[in-house]
Chains A and B, each alone.
Chain A
Amino acid sequence: MNLIELIKQPWPWYVAGPLIGLMVPTLLIVGNKSLGISSSLRHVCAACVPAKIPFFSYDWKKEIWNLFFVFGIFIGGIITVLYLKNDAPVLVHPDLATELASYSITDYSGLVPVELFNWGSLFTARGFILMVIGGFLVGFGTRYAGGCTSGHAIMGLSTLQLPSLIATISFMVGGFIMANLILPFILSL
């Protein structure tokens, strides 16, 4: 198997995790930047619709590196789908597959289930709830918490910040409640 074929395979956690972790010192050493992605959403607000709100009244251009970084993530997605795509569907736990099949979710070819996240499903109850309300909660929640998985869980825990541990635990508790107790109702709509 040549290198490019190897890269195309799904990467195990012990390869991907350390690479993600190395992003912390890389950004620090290259430009004193703290890894954090959700703040890009704030910079977009500050750049486009600050509306004299104090929270958005700052010089976003000084944080423009963050917008370059997230634009890079977007380009990374394009490069992966064009050149590094693995055509095999994602392999999930059989219990999950059984559960999702009961909501007629059976297509594992994409990063997100095409039955839920497409333009057509935006006009179905479950698609609307997941994309519109889910997206709102991601934006509101990360800013209220002061960071997301990258800013709190990875950067914050790496610098041994107790508030980041509290935030990370809250992320997980929220996720467990949603996935196990609420999502089944949404998916069966």
Chain B
Amino acid sequence: MQNTIKDTNTDFEVRSLDAICVNEEEVKVPTWYNLQYMVFGILFGIILIKSEVVSWFRIQEMFRLQSFHMFGVIGSAVVVGAISVFLIKKFKIKTIRGEQIIFADKTFNKGQIYGGLMFGFGWAMTGACPGPLYAQLGYGATAIIVTIFMSIVGTWVYGKFRDKLPS
């Protein structure tokens, strides 16, 4: 695949571990341009809340196999996402500023299992993954700021000890 880059980085959201950010566009864009991501974030937040996927109760249903709802949401999101990515690759669709769209290949690492299980525990406890935490806070559950703060602490502690963890 031409438009695929390979690296040994295990953190795929920030594609570069060190100083160079691959997630950055090569074309310089003004800072106010980031406001568009806020608009998409607002839409995303509304979707998350209105579909009740940020509801602690719905998460409990999911993990007890009492409702199809969450599986339907995640499953259909993946199907639509996969079709979109397929079309982008097939027709070599570029960004609106004409850049090639980059997909990073992920490499296996034990963190996906150990870290994945830990996140699963946290997901069932808080009823939220990181995105929904921000939505719950906005929706008025002010105590969730404690959960968000602790998730930042958790991230920091991971960063501090990541060399000592099995990977």
A residues lining the B interface (CB < 8 Å)? 7, 10-34, 36-45, 49, 51, 53-59, 62-66, 68-81, 84, 86, 90, 92-93, 95-96, 100, 108, 110-113, 116-119, 121-122, 129-164, 166-180, 182-183, 186
Q: How far is the CB of B155 from chain A (nearest CB, A)?
A: 4
Return chain A residues, CB-CB under 8 Å to B18: 54, 57-58
Counting contact residues on chain B (CB < 8 A from A), the size range is 35 or more
What CA separation (Å) do A132 and B141 show in the bound complex? 15
User: A31 contacts B25, CB within 8 Å?
Assistant: yes
Q: CB-nearest residue of chain A relative to B71? A: A13
Docked CA distance A69–B39 (Å): 8
Chain A residues in 8 Å Cβ range of B135: 73-74, 76-77, 80, 111
A69 with B44, Cβ < 8 A, contacts A39-B11, A90-B57, A146-B12 known: yes
CA distance in complex: A91, B133 (Å): 21
| A78 with B149, Cβ < 8 A, contacts A63-B21, A68-B41 known | no
The listed residue (B33, B87, B165) touching A144 by CB distance below 8 A is B165
Q: Is the CB of B119 within 8 A of A141?
A: yes
In the complex, residue of chain B having the shortest beta-carbon distance to the beta carbon of A18: B80
**Complexed CA–CA distance, A180 and B60 (Å):** 9
B160 interface contact, C-beta 8 A: yes
Chain A residues with Cβ below 8 Å from B120 are 141, 170-178
CA distance A168 to B69 in the complex (A): 17
B135 to chain A, nearest CB (A): 4
